[in-house]
Structure 1
Amino acid sequence: MQGIRRKLEAVTMSIVSLVKGRVSKLLGSPVNERRYIDHSLGVHGFLKRLKENNVNYVVMRWFKKLPEVAPGEDIDILVADEDLEKLTLFVNTNIARKGIPCDIYSVSGLQGTSWRGLPYYPVANARKILDNAVWLNDIVRVPAPDEHFLSMCYHAVYHKGYASGIPSHGSIFEGKVVDHDYKQEIERLFNNSSFKGKELEMTLEGLDGLLLQAGWKPAYDTLEKMSKANHWIHDNLVSRRENIPENWTGVTVFLVREEGIGYLDVIKRCIFEDGFDHLVEGQIPPGDIQAIAAGILGGNWGKGPWRKSGGLPAYYFVTFDSKPLVPNAETMKENVGLYNGRVMLTKRRVRDIYNKGKRPSEQCNILHSTDNSAQAIDYLKLIDPGCLEYIDQEARRKCVGFATPFKVIEDLSHHARRAKVECVEFHGRKAICKTFKEGRGIYLEREVMARELGKGLPEVSDILEVGDNYIVMECCDGSLADITTLRPIFHGHGLLPLWAIKKIKDVIFHYRALGYECIDLSPQNILFDSKKGLKVIDFEFLQKVDKPSRTLKGNYAWYDVPSDFAGDLPLGASGHIYRTHWMSYTGLPLFFCVNDFPGCILQPVRFLAYCYVSIRNLGRRAVDTSITFIVSQCRSIIRTSRKFTSSLSHLLSGFDEPSR
């Protein structure tokens, strides 16, 4: 069902996006930066209106011949956020009206006026362009000579990259025809600026270095987002990441936005529960918030896909993950540069907690984070540069402390929120080593306690060695798949034999009789050995309760944990635990599992379950196949629609204004 749901969501989002775009155009609402100046107003009239209304703007480049605009060219305009509404009164979004094209970019990259979701220039530099703007021919505002030179360099390097035609070290430009001679134009602007007389290295790397010295180079997180469309940036980002010390790979900086300040305790707990260690935290001084915000996300702290903005960054947590979770390909595609998939899970969890129960108009994103160590270093240089050395030392110490003390044969870790699990070579034989993250000693203690309480139970795996932060357990040569019998059609696994279910019940009953509950016991925590039989290997959440019980009814492994339970729980420890985690393995409703029934009754029940699951899976497979076909057809229709719209737009733009 998860696969079906994902496909439905994907095609729904594509259709919604297409429909929203078409509706927005019909209503005259902007979906991107492109606007049109009506022919009846003309470029001269448009510029005159901007001057009469004191609009704070500049035409960024290629403005020498204005108000004349060559065929096929457009006008690139930067406008102050507060004057965007005034400027848009004199343009429209409907290409069918055959106006003069212009691209409108607001300083902070407001919706419909951004460059690929980012501000066109770093916010502080964009404001400087507007502050120092000059009048050309008393009709159009343009950048002053220095800002004109720097902004053109920025455009060539970070927007165009290889497509600018400017050479790069070790690379030969190959690709589409360059739209302008950027090299010649930059050299001309250089000679007209205060930079004249200094050395100008006319390469992408040389201009990048110049922009860095001038304070125009984008922040690292912005560069990574730009790299989706700029291969030169991507090539240089890779080389930079390789130079960062390995101990920094686990460092993540979480930024709590203003709307989330009341949730600091919740956020801190979620970050720790998800597997991060807290290193440093603190409030961002109110006087520094604007400057720090301008240096992160390109200065764009808008609402994004939400109804309102979460505000500017107000608080920070510096964290370390000893075992980063490798993100899948889909996540990596959406989040270029992401190193630890756990970051996305944590942010999603925090956002869900904050937005739960709120009206759509009140929902927002209250938590931002770095995607990798390079971003973490950049953020800390802005927020708290004094802690860099401490973070480096702590990260190095944690890496050393988390190292496996034995030769690793295979990594068996899953989420690794609390510990990593590895198959190791232990005194000449294979064993399982479980190494716990710092601050998770309670889980190690429970593992040891479970073995002490479970002495005499053959199903409890033996501990071979206990260290300060690790345990070594006996290794099993098989899994539950080796003993499953009936396997429903299209099912991921077979059903456990009745004798195996009986042994699992014995384990739960044994600990309940001693006053302990096997919380989080699942089939994934049980292995099979051909010589030693069934083995339970995970007791991290074994906890003592008020009184012993000599019944399986109400046990915390299969039933929801009571709301007044004072202990700690794993994520997802509520909501039909047995049905979600166990029934597909037992083939028995919970009633038949917690009560003692003879095999002559249980087997027919399991056969009915087998038939039910098989029929259900066949139905799901049929639906999945149908949806896959529908999705492919919808995507084909969307692609065709976009091509048709694009062709129609080019056709319409090619006609002259009809005579009346």
Structure 2
Amino acid sequence: MPDAFPDASFQPAMLIPAVDMSPTAAAPDQHYAIPGIDNGRLFRAGYHVPRTLDSRYPVLRRKPVIAMSANATRAWQWVDLVMSEHAADLQALIEARAAAFTTRFPVLRRLSGGNEERAKVEVVQFQGHPAVCKTFRPGKEIFLHRELAAISALRDQVPEVPEVLAHGENWMIMPLYENSERFRRSRFGLLPLPAARQLIDVLERLYEAGWAHLDMRGNNVIFDERAGMKILDFEFARPYDSLPASFAESYDIRGAPESLLQELSSEILSNVTYASRIESLTGLSYESLRHDPTWQQHLKRMLFVPTRVVPRLVRRELGTRVRPALQHLRRSASLRLRRIVPDRLTRRAISELHTSKRPGKEPA
């Protein structure tokens, strides 16, 4: 497969066909960095997968160990080249998985965007009214079971937990909640101070009911004008085997044991403390949110944006867009240089050969 890896310094040892059930459109800068790319998630994978391998296996650091096709057409060319006898079975498997991931109800709009590692979230027409349908990927049904169990246990105790209108083998229907303008987050992601306090109160009531949410982030809290605050996404929610001594020591504030994170999903739940997940919504430390006077909280939130939020946004932009594009351009430039230099050397050698054959000229 030499044409598939023109800039690789290794021979391919394994072909891994991977199918994305929810591809996203590639951004213009991604098209520029990788001509022909047909899925924006491939761009992120091409950046994060090598970094993950480097962190886990230092011996591989700075060595090219993985190459990915830029689009589906190229991927099928690789399949035909390496495992053509399995191409029909692979196509049938892809079609079966796509059918299992099909939404059961008329779709009005998509809510989840490209963040569909476990499930896609859409507004659908359900019993004559708009509702939210969450359809889980094949093999990710365990997250549906966890969410249904948590909602069933908490719904009557904590009104901020949404109800489930219907569910099936890999889907669930919930009411459609819309964010109220009165509680809209600031341009830097901070909740209004009253909403931040209410969020912590809800998490404390979950703790008192014997549960930890374990995935609190901005997209998982909604302030509906009629229904009030709603906490979403209980895919990782877990009942306590032994209740911590206080809410301050709960999993949602202090963090969960490593063994539990490994059991649930170590790649996603690598850090679930208040400082890593919730402080970016409140703009205050846990102690400040619980104990400081209001005037001091407002002052600290004003300082939080320039000292914490802006640097984080810059690092995120560099990490997810600029740096991967620069790395790809650097690799492409290196490849072009390796192609150009031999051509120039060849032209120079031919020129010198012609010069040496001219009358009266000595070879250089």
Q: Describe how 1:419-568 pairs up with structure 2 within 5 A.
A: 419-456=119-156, 457-479=158-180, 482-484=182-184, 491-498=187-194, 500-549=195-244, 551-565=246-260, 566-568=262-264
- CA displacement at 1:350 relative to structure 2: 2.7
Partner SS state of residue 212, structure 2: strand
> Which residue of the partner structure matches residue 363 of structure 1?
62
> By how many angstroms is 1:617 displaced?
8.6
- What's the CA shift for 1:613? 3.3
Give the aligned residue type for 2:249: G
C-alpha distance after superposition, 1:259-313 (max 9, x if no partner): xxxxxxxxxxxxxxxxxxxxxxxxxxxxxxxxxx22423xx253xxxxxx3x211
Give, in angstroms, the shift of residue 385 of structure 1. Answer: 0.4
Q: Is the 8 A contact 1:431 1:473 kept in 2?
A: yes
Confirm or deny that 1:393 pairs with 2:84: no
Letter in 1 for 2:220: N
Q: What's the CA shift for 1:570?
A: 6.1
Of 263, 274, 297 in structure 2, the residue corresponding to residue 606 of structure 1 is 297
* Superposed CA offset, 1:304-363 (max 9, x none): xxxxx3x21111222222111333221121111212222233343331133238779952
Residue number in structure 1 paired with 2:48:
349
| Number of positions where the alignment pairs a residue of Structure 1 with one of Structure 2 | 310
- Pair 602,387 (structure 1): closer, same or farther in 2 beyond 3 Å: farther
Q: Following superposition of structure 1 onto structure 2, how do residues 306-345 of structure 1 map, counting pairs within 5 Å? A: 309=9, 311-345=10-44
**Retained in 2: the 8 A contact 1:409–1:424?**
yes
User: Which residue is 1:372 aligned to?
Assistant: 71
Task: State the distance in 1 between where 2:310 and 2:17 align.
Answer: 48
Deviations 1:21-59 (A, max 9, x none): xxxxxxxxxxxxxxxxxxxxxxxxxxxxxxxxxxxxxxx
Cα deviation for residue 502 of structure 1 reads 4.2
| Equivalent residues in 2 for 1:396-415, closer than 5 Å | 396-414=95-113, 415=115
- CA–CA separation in structure 2 for the residues paired with 1:570 and 1:325: 25
Task: Map Cα deviations across residues 514-538 of structure 1 (whole Å, 9 max, x no partner).
Answer: 4432111112111121111001121
Change (3 A) 1:550 1:527: farther
Report the counterpart of residue 591 of structure 1 in structure 2: 287
After TM superposition, give the deviation of residue 402 of structure 1 in Å: 1.2
Secondary structure of 1:449's counterpart equals: helix
Contact 1:525/1:538 (CA < 8 Å) preserved in 2?
Answer: yes
Kindly provide the CA deviation profile for residues 510-563 of structure 1, in whole angstroms up to 9, marking residues without a partner as x. 433444321111121111211110011211111244312352223333434333
Amino acid at match of 1:582: I
SS in 2 for 1:317: coil
How far the C-alpha of 1:591 sits from its partner, in A, is 1.7
Q: Which runs of 5+ in 2 are unaligned?
A: 315-364
**Could you report, residue by residue, the CA deviation over 1:181-222 in whole angstroms, capped at 9, with x for unpaired residues?**
xxxxxxxxxxxxxxxxxxxxxxxxxxxxxxxxxxxxxxxxxx
In the alignment, which residue of structure 1 is the partner of 2:4? Answer: 296
The letter of the residue matching 1:533 is G
Q: 1:550 to 1:503 in 2, by over 3 A?
A: farther
The whole-number CA distance in structure 2 between the counterparts of 1:504 and 1:550 is 20
Contact 1:520 1:570 in 2 (8 A): no
Task: Indicate conservation of the 8 Å contact 2:150/2:238, yes or no.
Answer: no
**Post-superposition offset of 1:567:** 2.0
Partner of 2:320: none
Cα shift at 1:615: 5.5
Distance 2:239 2:306 in 1: 42
For the Cα contact (< 8 Å) 2:112–2:121, is it kept in 1?
Answer: yes
Residues 586, 614 of structure 1: alpha-carbon distance in 2 compared, 3 angstrom cutoff: closer
1:459, 1:533 within 8 Å by CA — same for their partners in 2?
Answer: yes
Q: How does 1:3-402 map to 2 (within 5 A)?
A: 293-297=1-5, 300-302=6-8, 309=9, 311-356=10-55, 362-402=61-101
Identity of matched residues, %: 23
How far off is 1:618 after superposition? 11
Once the two structures are superposed, the pairs formed by residues 627-638 of structure 1 within 5 Å of their partners are: none
Query: Please, which runs of 5 or more residues in structure 1 have no aligned partner?
Result: 1-292, 303-308, 624-660
Once the two structures are TM-superposed, the CA of residue 389 in structure 1 deviates from its matched residue by 0.7
Secondary structure class of the residue paired with 2:222: strand
C-alpha contact 1:561 1:574 (8 A) present in aligned 2: no
TM-score (norm 2): 0.76
**Kindly tell me: are residues 537 and 568 of structure 1, through their superposed partners in 2, closer, same or farther at Cα, counting changes over 3 Å?**
same
From the two aligned structures, give the one with the greater helix fraction: 2
* 8 Å Cα contact 2:162/2:232 also seen in 1: yes
C-alpha distance in structure 2 between counterparts of 1:416 and 1:619, whole Å: 27
TM score, norm. by length of structure 1: 0.43
